[in-house]
Structure 1
Amino acid sequence: MDAVVEIASFENAPCGFVAFDDRGKILEINARLADWLDRERADLLGSPVREILSKASRIVFETSLIPLLKMNQKIDGVSLDLVRRDGTKLPILLSGERSGTGETAVTRLVLLNAGGRRNYERELAEARATAEAQLATEAKEGELREQFVAILGHDLRNPLAALSSAIRMLAKSTTGDRERLIAAHAEDSIQRMSRLIDTTLDFARVRLGAGFELDLSGSARLGDQIQLVVHELSSANPDRKIDLDMDLQYKPSCDVWRIGQLLSNLLANALCHGDPEQPVSARVSCKEDALTISVTNKGEPIPPEMMEQLFDPFKRPKTTSKHGLGLGLFIVSEIAKAHEGEMQVASDSGTTEFSFRMPYSPDT
């Protein structure tokens, strides 16, 4: 009974089997392999084993594999093609072992159907090529968009500066209160547009890989820059109170204008999203270990789902009705990185605090 089961398993095993002698004549072949070839098993016995291979595979088999079998007695995982009765090819993976010598030598081969694997590999290669082409196209389009934004922003500066100069001249020459008010509103709009252009250019510069070029020559003027930023935002928001606590015991090596931009963006964010009835607090300190800047506002906490995205570009709370590009905190983060500093955020039921810390030592 066991012998019958063994023979049946061999004939219908999920792999092909063929044995041939030293002259290449088939001595044994199982039913599975005969079925793959669409040939009668009896017709294959005694025929040359090379006949079940495609023309290209015969060359590889006879010039490479047979010599390897005679030298090493075995081969593993060789990819070849069988040929069916109708001439179509069947890809297989072949492993074999040779025993005996001379005319008594017998070679036994086990063959696995590799059609599915080859199709999978081909589809995988095609999918990879398609994905790489798509990524290359998207990268090129993204770079072109960012270059366009940078060029456009740069070209907008000159006419905007000319327009601002003309409005200031008109404001000086006019005597009517209504005309001066209109000129003041126009100048405010121009300044806001200028800030939007600067932010857009900063974003494009970062995305293009240029980053921020720091000017460390004006560190002594940091205090003046901080005062100027607070004054500008207080003037732009006359109904809001900004409390400033500044303690600069040392003059840190930093880009004064960029640090001012960082503070300005944090204050603008606090004024925009904080409780309008409560003051915004700014603390600037430079002691022996670090330069620190923190901005605190009262009001609703930042939603938990927004915390991890605060410094991503174009991210704003969906509930806000304020205007802006959603780039302010992204620029803050990039300025902090350029100074080898870090940003931290804490927000609870009553207070939100953004803090910047740049390690600093007076001896460096």
Structure 2
Amino acid sequence: MSSSDLSDSDFQDLFENAPCGYLSLGADGKVVRVNATLCNWLGKSSDDLVGKRLRDILNVAGSIFYETHFAPLLRMQGFFEEVALDLLKPDGTLLPVLANAAERRISGELAFTRVTLFRAPQRRRHERELSEARRSEREARGKLEEINAGLQHRITDAAVQQTQAVEEAELREQFIAVLGHDLRNPLAGFAGGTNILTQMHGDPKSIRVLRLMRESIKRMEGLIDNLMDFARGRLGGGIHVEPSSGQRIEPTIAQVVNEMKAGHPERNIEMRLDLPQTVDVDHPRIAQMFSNLLGNAIAHGSEDRPIVVEARTAEGDFLLSVANGGEPIPQAALDRLFRPFYRGEVRPSMQGLGLGLYIASQIAQAHDGRIDVTSDEKETRFTFRMPIGGSVDQR
């Protein structure tokens, strides 16, 4: 046997029996070649897979997630790395994998796409996202159904049809995978409907129910914004900020505190502001970050001790902190606080996806800053710190 024959044989053995799965997709997206390793993983032959599309061997949620997130990413930049997918085996069980893909173009035209698959036995990020989002969607739907039952006789035929359309959309299992895109428009319509009903009905019962509806809408908008910010942070290179100069930050802080006090009148929130100069920040984003930190203190802090908000400058930095009393955060939880979809030990009444602190940390990073946490028997304190830079004294 010649050396060239041996080389070809080695190459063929490396492809077929590599410790990872190989797929080659034609320009039309169909499988044109697959190695023996992947066939063995799936319990299928090469003939079973050739001619299929990648989505045909994924579970339903994974197929939608791939088509709406990673297929566009592949078309845009020509590759993706470490994408979590679930391959569907003939017996209905799932094979979790991490996928890398790269396009091969000739004279600017797509010739084929190489896909490499690695086993991933651990639960991955997108599975946690789907699970948490489904649970939050069910809770939100239950709230809406409860409110709609009390207003059924007051809503016009058009509003009923709109509500039914929203509910039908929410009942689709795949809706969660594209939550941020599909829910914004009907939610805006629902908000508009509540505004109209507010003008039409002034009796105390209607006012109370409509207020509950607006609170539910605001909560759902927050979930959507968090999911979209999460997607932008992970797939878009971070959260974008547009700092403004010469604008005082105290009114922004006070507005968030007042909003929280209105929603939680029983909680004591103290403000201590000492800012001799302006701070160049993106005010809506800082308000979002501060609202997450303050909401976290309200949710987890001791109800019989005040929450203290401090804003000051020190050694060329702007510091904004939120402190609350209560049980200290365990070290194991501190290490994971800013991870997405991590909620720690929460009360049964608490809602959310576990994205608030993650997004707050991303906003801090976008301002070239960071959020530090200290927690002991005395207090738990979250501190946002960022360099002031060229801020100008306005006093």
Same fold (TM over 0.5): yes
Residue in 1 aligned with 2:385? 357
Equivalent residue in structure 2 for 1:217, among 244, 249, 252: 244
Residue 209 of structure 2 aligns to which amino acid in structure 1?
Answer: I
Q: Secondary structure at the match of 1:207?
A: helix
2 CA distance for matches of 1:151 and 1:319? 26
- How far apart, in 1, do the equivalents of 2:359 and 2:328 lie? 22
Aligned to 1:50: none
1:103-145 Cα offsets, whole Å, 9 max, x none, are xxxxxxxxxxxxxxx89x9599701455988422789x989x9
- Aligned counterparts of 1:179 and 1:282: Cα–Cα separation in 2: 36
Range 208-217 or range 234-243, more displaced = 208-217
Against the structure 1 CA distance between its residues 218 and 163, is the aligned structure 2 distance closer, same or farther, given a 3 Å change threshold?
A: farther
* Higher-Rg member (1/2): 1
Does 2:285 correspond to 1:258?
yes
State the number of aligned residues: 251
Distance 1:363 1:185 in 2: 41
Superposed displacement of residue 197, structure 1? 1.0
Q: Deviations over 1:320-349 (max 9, x none)?
A: 322111111100110111111011110011
**Does the residue aligned with 2:293 lie in a helix, a strand or coil?**
helix
> What does residue 348 of structure 1 align with?
376
Paired residue for 2:226? 199
Find the partner of 1:127 among 15, 19, 29: 19
CA displacement at 1:288 relative to structure 2 = 6.4
- Structure 1 runs (4+) greater than 4 angstroms displaced: 121-125, 128-134, 148-151
1:56 paired residue number: 2
Taking structure 1 as reference, are residues 219 and 165 closer, same or farther at Cα in structure 2, changes over 3 Å only? Answer: farther
**Residues 157-205 of structure 1 deviation map (CA, whole Å, 9 limit, x = unaligned):** 2322232222123223323111111111111111111111111110111
Give the whole-Å Cα distance in 2 for the aligned partners of 1:204 and 1:159: 21
Counterpart Cα distance in 1 of 2:370 and 2:220: 29
Deviating more after overlay: 154-163 vs 172-181: 154-163
| 1:13-42 CA distance string (max 9 Å, x none) | xxxxxxxxxxxxxxxxxxxxxxxxxxxxxx
| Cα RMSD after superposing both structures | 3.4
Unmatched tracts of structure 2, length 5 or more: 23-37, 39-81, 83-96, 101-114, 119-123, 131-174
SS at match of 1:191: helix
* Unaligned residue ranges in structure 1 (runs of 5+): 1-54, 61-78, 81-90, 92-117
Question: CA separation in 2, counterparts of 1:210 and 1:149?
Answer: 23
Q: Residues 320 and 305 from structure 1, CA distance in 2 versus in 1: closer, same or farther, beyond 3 angstroms?
A: farther
Letter in 2 for 1:56: S
Counterpart-to-counterpart distance in 2, 1:222 and 1:344: 20
Measure, in 1, the Cα distance between the counterparts of 2:378 and 2:207.
41
The one-letter amino acid paired with 1:126 is: A
Give 3-state SS (helix, strand or coil) of 1:200's partner.
helix
**Matches of residues 3-14 of structure 1 in structure 2 within 5 Å?**
none
Residues 179-234 of structure 1: per-residue CA shift (max 9 Å, x gap): 11111111111111111111111011111134212111365052221111111111
Q: Which residue of 2 aligns with 1:327?
A: 355
Give yes or no for contact 1:292–1:358 (8 Å, CA) kept in 2: yes
Query: Partner of 1:233: helix, strand, or coil?
Result: helix
Q: C-alpha separation between the residues in 1 aligned to 2:307 and 2:329?
A: 16
- Counterpart of 1:350, as a letter, is K
Structure 1 residues 354, 154: closer, same or farther in 2, change over 3 A? same
TM-score (norm 2): 0.56
Q: CA deviation at 1:245?
A: 1.3
Amino acid of the structure 1 residue aligned with 2:2:
A
Matched AA of 1:135: A
Relative to structure 1, the CA distance from residue 292 to residue 165 in structure 2 (aligned partners, 3 Å threshold; closer, same or farther) is: same
Taking a change above 3 Å as real, the CA distance of residues 250 and 288 of structure 1, as seen in their structure-2 partners, is: farther
- TM normalised by structure 1 equals 0.61
